[in-house]
Amino acid sequence: MSYTVRMYTLSTCSHCKNAKRFMDQHRIQYNFTDVDLLTGDARTIIMDEVRKYNPKCTFPTILVGEKVIIGFNESALRGVLELE
């Protein structure tokens, strides 16, 4: 399956670290933005993006193709990533 994985994360967040570790362990390529490391306009622009996918603006917010997974929900991720 071909998909793009994009994650909005916080550098300090345990759930975000777990999500990154999960992707690494399964050799899933992804890109991510640690939103807490952004300031000013850069943070505002990214938060507008996050809000579009997840109005509660919680982390991690994970996009797998068109699908949005909120939080480190391992079973949901396994489903959309078609693992096992």
30 binds another protein (CB under 8 A): no
The residue within the footprint of another protein, chosen from 24, 44, 45, 57 (CB under 8 A), is 57
List strands edge to edge, sheet with 61-64. 31-34, 5-9, 61-64, 67-70
The residue within the footprint of another protein, chosen from 6, 10, 28, 32 (CB under 8 A), is 10
Task: Give the closest residue to 57 by CA, choosing from 2, 1, 8.
Answer: 8
Residue among 29 and 75 whose Cβ is closer to another protein: 75
Residue that has been written with the tokens 């991690």 in this structure: 60
User: What residues line the site for another protein (CB under 8 A)?
Assistant: 10-17, 35-36, 47, 55-59, 71-73
